[in-house]
Amino acid sequence: MDSSTNRHPARVRRSVLTVPADNPRALAKLANLACDAVIYDLEDAVAPENKAAARAALVAHLDALSPDRHAGPDRQTGKDPIERIVRINALSAGEQGPANPGLADLEAVLPFAPDAILLPKVENPGDVQQVADHLEEADVPATVRLWAMIETPRGLLNVAAIAAAGRTSGGRLDCLVPGLNDLAKATGVLPQPGRPYLVPYLMQVLLAARAFGLDAIDAVFNAISDGAGFAEECRQARAMGFDGKMLIHPAQIAPANAAFGIDPADLARARAIIAAFAEPDQAGKGVIRLDGEMVELLHLAQAERLVARAAHLAARDATTI
């Protein structure tokens, strides 16, 4: 499969802030934050006894947003500059109603057409297929996407199959997110600067994402007060190829946006590649020469995606002025 031609339309996901759905102060602050995406967390960040209250609070929050959310906004025009994702609880097989918190979460938020549903602790392709089937049966618009968290050893071993299934299960899967805290706990890896023994886990997720045209968001950085450590981890994730970082505090937004932003020189080069391939005398060629270097069609695909991301970012920024 050629992932360069099988990617979903570009979204800018430099900073993905996770917010407990039962924290009204955090929900109220979102309107003034510059994160590219927010994950409303109904799972790990919410105590079991608060699940129902968190679900109700999230419904009230979504209901108070622009009416455009109910119809599903145009994801490419930036009507809603923040991409909104809901992390649901795991679906329990065979259980219905309140006994199945994941299903209750879905039924509560789907009328508001969130941009995506984040599935926790995905371990096999069936976990994605189950939710994809539910969305199809409920006639949920295709604009409601799926994200998958890879948080267990079994999920990591199956991540390529999960990514492949997500591209064939209605094509809704957009993004993979490694859950390093859970993976480290499950495998016994001790936390160390630079994440030397966790980098292989991260690269396995990234490779699966790229093989099947998905985005990949780096895991959270736990030490909120360690700004230098966070900035270094962002640089590392960018160097590995991640599209952005999952955040746990608003103070992490600006450094993440800077680290995963678009370099002006890279954007200029991308536009030059697109222009060169568009020249009449280059029509039909798979390889051309540009500024003394050989440039292939794969570089053209990368350039087009970068320009699309830049355009989306410009549209997003324009809506916040």
Q: What is the DSSP string of 262-309?
A: --HHHHHHHHHHHHHHHSGGGTT-SEEEETTEEEEHHHHHHHHHHHHH
Confidence (pLDDT) at 23: 94
- The pLDDT score that the predictor gives to residue 47 is 92
Q: How confident is the model at residue 98 (pLDDT cuts 50, 70, 90)?
A: low
**pLDDT 10s digits, 173-214:** 999 999 999 999 999 999 899 999 999 999 999 999 999 989
Question: 190 to each of 150, 186, 198, how far by Cα in Å?
Answer: 18, 11, 9
CA triple 267-259-304, angle to 5 deg: 25
Q: How confident is the model at residue 312 (pLDDT cuts 50, 70, 90)?
A: confident
What is the mean pLDDT of the segment spanning 221-249? 97
User: Are 177 and 313 members of one domain?
Assistant: no
| pLDDT for 315 | 75
- Residue where a domain terminates, one of 222, 246, 261: 261
274 and 212 part of one domain: no
Q: Would you list the DSSP string of 103-133?
A: HHHHHHHGGG--SEEEESS--SHHHHHHHHH
Least confident of 226-235, 287-296, 304-313: 304-313
Answer whether 216's CB lies under 8 Å from 176's CB.
yes
pLDDT of residue 75: 40
Furthest CA-CA distance within the chain: 67
Q: Are residues 181 and 199 in the same domain?
A: yes
Reply yes or no on whether the pLDDT at 283 is more than 80: yes
Residue 116 and residue 133 in one domain: yes
Q: Are 110 and 116 in contact (CB under 8 A)?
A: no
pLDDT band at 155 (very low <50, low <70, confident <90, very high): very high
Q: Which secondary-structure segment (H or E) carries 38?
A: strand 37-41
> Does residue 287 share a domain with residue 161?
no
Residue 319: predicted pLDDT: 60
CA dihedral 92, 104, 179, 72 (to 10 degrees): 130
Structure tokens at 169: 């299960």
Task: Check whether residue 248 and residue 107 sit in a common domain.
Answer: yes
Helix (H, G, I), strand (E, B) or coil at 74: coil
Residue 34 — pLDDT band, cuts 50, 70, 90?
Answer: very high
Q: Which residue has the higher pLDDT, 150 or 317?
A: 150
Mean pLDDT calculated for residue range 159-176: 88
Spatial contact of 15 and 38, defined as CB atoms under 8 Å apart: no
Asked if 209 contacts 242 with a C-beta cutoff of 8 angstroms, the reply is no
299 in the same domain as 207: no
Q: Is residue 167 very low, low, confident or very high in pLDDT (cuts 50, 70, 90)?
A: confident
Q: 171: domain range? A: 3-261
What are 249's two structure tokens?
Answer: 């505090």
Instruction: Please say which residue of 216, 233, 261 terminates a domain.
Output: 261
- The answer to whether residues 239 and 282 belong to one domain is no
In this predicted structure, the answer to whether residue 85 has a pLDDT above a threshold of 60 is yes
Contact 162, 214 (CB under 8 A): no
Q: What is the pLDDT of residue 318?
A: 64
Region 116-126: what's the mean pLDDT?
96
CB atoms within 10 A of CB 193: 8
Q: What angle do CA 179, 147, 107 make, to 5 degrees?
A: 115
pLDDT in tens, 54-78: 999 999 999 998 565 444 444 434 4
Residues 305 and 179 in one domain: no
C-alpha span between 179 and 72 (Å, rounded): 28
The token pair that represents 141 in the structure block: 């618009």
pLDDT given at position 276: 94
Distance CA 9, CA 146 (A): 14
3-state secondary structure 129-196: HHHHHHHHHCCCCCCCEEEEEECCHHHHHCHHHHHHHHHHCCCCEEEEEECHHHHHHHHCCCCCCCCC
| Confidence band for 95, pLDDT divided at 50, 70 and 90 | low
> 86 with 230, same domain?
yes
User: If you average pLDDT over every residue of the chain, what do you get?
Assistant: 89
Question: How many domains does the chain fold into?
Answer: 2
Q: Do 20 and 107 sit in the same domain of this protein?
A: yes
Rounded mean pLDDT, 128-148 = 93
In this structure, the answer to whether residues 69 and 110 fall within a common structural domain is yes
pLDDT at position 206:
98
Q: Tell me the per-residue pLDDT of 250-277, one tens digit each, with 9 for 90 and over.
A: 999 999 999 999 889 999 999 999 999 9
Domain at 178, CATH number: 3.20.20.60
- Which of 261, 276, 295 is the last residue before a domain boundary? 261
